[in-house]
Structure 1
């Protein structure tokens, strides 16, 4: 077997055995949002935005997901630019004002390091507005380095519920010539958000809730137009 396959399998087993209760609690929170016809907001800067994108307009995924997408958090306008921007205070509030976010919604914030200003301030703003905040982060990475925010706090110290992705500091699972290779935070994050949402869907279904689930647009006989129309006034990027 390939070494990376083995390392990822070990990581998945670690997450499964050590984060079970946190995943269950997150699923309960998300199920309530489904039942109450509210919105799940997902935010990540740098590569962490990929995990928010995984939830957004995804075939077989939930339709009531708003991914916070902007040039400020994407690498499309420059990787080095994005890396600097996520460290700047005050920008999370600017992003927040561009979206319709209600206190009865929920916010999932993904940051592997949990030390940069933008995800920290997004969590602070969400809590100030009354939302429950779920953080997906590497506690090993986060506890290894100081915060880059003036509060001195890191994401895991602000969120209501913290799910550790169990990714080692530096993100790599393998080493060659003294350098880490084999990044894992994206795979771990996607595994976690898909596990949380699928469990939440099962809970909501058992309670008789209507399930806003997208069909693949590449399978004939289905349309997502009804869901687009339902959420287009609450989800910016539809």
Structure 2
């Protein structure tokens, strides 16, 4: 579809948004390929040792934990760190307040049997400046876990919040290349920009990393634990075997 046809069909703002998302996604996947490969190699090594990837994000970033967990084509070695008060469905306003407060990381991670010898932590924060995700990353590192981050360096650099930024704490940083404020298009001059891009791009980075890890694990002679869609032939039996194996390690299963 030509840009002109897209604008005519979708309208100017939506056409600009889809074009901008495609540009940022292509830029991020190209620029971050070395970090994706580095993260995938780490995960393949740790998955082969029976490790788990714990995924944490607060506010809208909690969708990364749910995206990676218990889904068709997804790794069974992903454990989401899900604390309702730090998500959106209990209180969006309160979750925003909590992610800016220090002192919650220990309670967020409590209840998960994390093994620093085999496990890995992924922390997602688009701004990379809020206290809670930075604190979770630092706590995980203090426990001995390698930490991967998905964040926007540009946003973190532009943020007025004080303190360390997520990209300064993590061992491996996947930059989503999204702009400060995470809004991509103007719908009218007197209105704020609209159209977030960090989830679209960040989730692609996440899944590229997981797929690359599975490939490396398979190349090394391992057997990646990947869920089948429930509607596919033999999925029930396939998934039941994985659940029996991984259930004791991943409490949300």
TM-score normalized with structure 2 length: 0.90
Q: Which has the larger radius of gyration?
A: 2
Q: 2: CA distance between counterparts of 1:76 and 1:22?
A: 33
Q: Who is 1:84 aligned against?
A: 97
Higher helix fraction (1 or 2): 2
Aligned with residue 16 of structure 1, among 29, 54, 69 = 29
Q: Does 1:113 align with 2:127?
A: yes
Q: Is the 8 A contact 2:29 2:205 kept in 1?
A: no
Q: Displacement, 1:216?
A: 0.6
Of 166, 169, 181, which residue of structure 2 is paired with 1:158? 169
Which consecutive residues of structure 1, in runs of 5 or more, have no partner in the other structure?
Answer: none
Aligned to 2:12: none
- Which residue is equivalent to 1:169? 180
Give the aligned partner of residue 18 of structure 2: 5
Q: Which of the pair is proportionally richer in strand?
A: 1
Q: Would you say 1:57 and 2:89 are equivalent positions?
A: no
Q: What number of residue pairs does the alignment pair up?
A: 235
Question: What secondary structure does 2:211 align onto?
Answer: helix
2: CA distance, partners of 1:118 / 1:233: 27
Structure 1-normalised TM-score?
A: 0.95
Residues 85, 91 of structure 2: 8 Å contact kept: no
Residue pair 2:151, 2:167 contacting (<8 A) in 1 also: yes
| Runs of at least 5 residues in structure 2 that lack an aligned partner in the other structure | 1-5, 7-14
> Superposed, which structure 2 residues align to 1:24-63 within 5 Å?
24-63=37-76
Cα-Cα RMSD = 1.2
1:188 paired with 2:201, answer yes
- Asked whether the equivalents of residues 8 and 184 of structure 1 are also in contact (C-alpha less than 8 Å), the reply is yes
Structure 2 CA distance, aligned partners of 1:84 and 1:58?
Answer: 30
Distance in 1 separating the partners of 2:68 and 2:159 = 29
Shift of 1:3: 2.1
CA positional deviation for 1:26: 0.9
